Amino acid sequence: MDDTELFPLLEALKNPDEAVRAEATQALWQIWFGQKGAAGLQTLQRAQVLLEAGEADQSEAVLSEVIEQMPDFAEAWNRRAVLHFVQGNYRKAIADCHHAIALVPVHFGALHGLGLCLASVGEYREAIQAFRRALEIQPYAIENQKLIFECTAKLS
């Protein structure tokens, strides 16, 4: 991914204007989903349709195949992490989040997801770290602020 394309969008996430942040957020998701062109996007969409139809195993197979073919496709890792999270397979989701973050360190969605997974397995300190990293990228993300508070309360 081209950092010159990402930098202005990442800066816009810090803008006090909610509309500017929303536009930047949408643009970043489009970049991540579109990283591998139309074919990659269609594969992610097919996996999502399968998941929504209750065909989680088939959805996972589609995502695993695209990951095998394109291991640098961060959003494929992130989508499979989401699938694992929905199924309650938190350790698998954590591993996939780590892959997505390794590929795209500013992937606020994967960082947020990592925090959710870590909190789900009771690793609250690590969850707080993930939510804080996500907040560094999206400082106005109130949900992450709220989750940090909840995880901190569980440590008390």
Mean pLDDT of 50-78: 97
Residue type, 20: V
pLDDT band at 4 (very low <50, low <70, confident <90, very high): confident
Range of the domain at 119: 3-155
Per-residue pLDDT for 108 more than 70?
yes
Domain count, the chain: 1
3-state secondary structure of 55: coil
Question: pTM value?
Answer: 0.95
Per-residue pLDDT for 2 more than 70?
no
Q: Which of 96, 100, 151 is nearest to 124 (CA)?
A: 151
CATH number at residue 130: 1.25.40.10
